[in-house]
Structure 1
Amino acid sequence: MKKGIHPDNYRLVVFKDTSNDYTFMSRSCAPAKETIKWEDGNEYPLVKLEISHKSHPYYTGKIQYVDTAGRIDKFKSKYGKFQKDKK
């Protein structure tokens, strides 16, 4: 690696996809508030992601509905009063 081109905090970081609990390690400068114990027994900074290549429809070829923020419930509570009664 060339000297002086990377920031001082360039290190190994574990990224975790919160939609499917997939984790992978890479080098990054991303800020992390948490740490995680990795498979080799060492602790590394943890960065949580909402989507990764394991859950993105472009890479998986299928659509996965991930309701991380309760968007479906908010929609139903907002527009549920317009639903016709089923008889």
Structure 2
Amino acid sequence: MKNGIHPAYRTVVFRDRAAGTAFLTRSTATSARTVEWADGATYPVVDVEVSSASHPFYTGNARVMDSAGRVERFERRYGRR
């Protein structure tokens, strides 16, 4: 790898605003805000809107689309050809 062209890879806290949870991981993401973690160290914090803690697919709250009802509604609206 070439020196000086890659972003710094460091420990960062990702905070999910919807679920109110935080994850400590490594990333190249940057932020001017910091947060003190449970280990007493201060890390940069990146706020995200959706993560695995709040996404409907991972939490089991995903809606199931009724495809048969959608087809019938389409046929009523536009007729069957």
Shorter-chain TM-score range: 0.5 to 0.7
Residue 57 of structure 2 corresponds to 58
Alignment partner, residue 45 of structure 2? 46
Number of aligned residues: 61
Q: 1:27 and 1:13 mapped to 2: Cα distance?
A: 6
Normalising by structure 1, report the TM-score: 0.62
Query: Does the 8 A contact of 1:33 with 1:45 survive in 2?
Result: yes
Q: How far 1:9 sits from its partner (Å)?
A: 1.4
Deviation by residue 1:13-69 (Cα, 9 ceiling, x = unmatched): 000000121001110000112000001000000000000001000100115xxxxxx
- Cα RMSD after superposing both structures: 2.0
Q: Which runs of 5+ in 1 are unaligned?
A: 64-87
Greater Cα radius of gyration, structure 1 or 2: 2
Q: Which runs of 5+ in 2 are unaligned?
A: 63-81
Query: Which residue pairs with 1:30 in the alignment?
Result: 29
* Distance (whole Å) between structure 2 residues aligned to residue 8 and residue 51 of structure 1: 24
What CA distance in whole angstroms lies between the structure 2 residues aligned with 1:28 and 1:51?
A: 17
Cα offsets for 1:67-87 (capped at 9, x unmatched):
xxxxxxxxxxxxxxxxxxxxx
Moved over 4 A (4+): none
**What TM-score do you get using the length of structure 2 for normalisation?**
0.67
